[in-house]
Amino acid sequence: MSFTDQVWQRIEPVRNAISEHPFVCALADGSLELETFHEYLRQDALYLIDYSRALSALAAGASDADEVTFWSGCAHQTMVDERSLHASHVDVLEGATMNPTCRAYMSFLLASTHAETQGVGIAAVLPCFWLYDFVGHRLREGVHSEDELDAHPYGDWIRTYTGPEFEEATRRAKDYADQYAQASDEAGRERMAEACEVASRYEWMFFDAAWTGQQWPL
């Protein structure tokens, strides 16, 4: 069994919790309040900036030209997405600040990609590919036609995470995780698995923070 197969089993409780979270359920049936979605977008726009930095760190630590190209391409696309998101929702995003979960998650990803091994860094960013691919396809299963998807209030979001480009990026990120895990010793693979599990929990927390409108207590 590959490293990613093992980790997929390990994070099954988190995957189930994400797919059953009220934010994701409301996103699926289109009943999600627009302001709640806007809060998610505000945090996502802030997240994407530091996420691009994390991906750039993986490009710097890559073992060959193909890997450099992949991670640097992901970093560039992340910033393209952030700029597009900002341009489309400038009135919503203006003045946004990171909530506690977003800041904690980004601190974890930046530390994992800058101060840990390449394998641990890849494992830490993997859930942002993998779980969004998972959620996107779960939501797409509930939409039975392209016309229905066109009419869905969050159809564009669903399309983003079920498109062939994102599917291919997810596949390659998993392949690199398996490659580095295979080259690691048992302790290194466990550190990678832990990083992936922690990041998966942060993904649940990210949805939950948007749902609850999380704020700093002081």
Alpha helices in 64-163 (DSSP H): 65-88, 90-93, 100-115, 118-141, 146-151, 155-160
CA 169, 101, 106, 32 dihedral sign is positive
Residue 114 has pLDDT above 80, yes or no: yes
Mean of pLDDT over the chain: 96
Residues 101 and 202 sit within 8 Å (Cβ to Cβ)? yes
Q: Which of 156, 39, 47 is nearest to 110 (CA)?
A: 47
pLDDT band at 87; cut points 50, 70, 90:
confident
Summarize the confidence of residues 14-27 as an average pLDDT.
98
- pLDDT over 80 at 20, yes or no: yes
Query: How long is the chain?
Result: 218
CATH number of the 3-212 domain? 1.20.910.10
Domain ranges in the chain are 3-212
Please give the model's pTM, rounded to 2 decimal places. 0.95
Q: Check residues 16 and 156 and name the one with the higher pLDDT.
A: 16
141-164 pLDDT, tens digit per residue, is 999 899 999 999 999 999 989 999
Of residues 81 and 120, more confidence is placed in: 120
